[in-house]
Amino acid sequence: MTELLPARVRVPCSTSNLGSGYDTIGLALDRYLEAAFEPDGSGELTVE
């Protein structure tokens, strides 16, 4: 089994379906979703 290492992810938020540009026009926002993952040795994944 591969050893799991801590990881941190940061992704930008976006929006779509703006006005008459349905499914073709999007907008990047100056906000981010951040998540950190740290293995505890149990082999289970818990999301809080």
Q: Residues 3, 41: contact at Cβ < 8 Å?
A: no
Structure tokens at 33: 């979703």
Q: How many CB atoms lie within 10 A of CB 39?
A: 13
Tracing tokens 């050893």 back to the chain, one arrives at 3
Give bridge partners of residue 37 from the DSSP assignment.
Answer: 7
Residue 27, pLDDT score: 81
Q: What is the pTM of this model?
A: 0.52
Query: Do residues 26 and 18 lie in contact, with contact meaning Cβ atoms separated by under 8 Å?
Result: yes
pLDDT at 21: 65
pLDDT at 8: 93
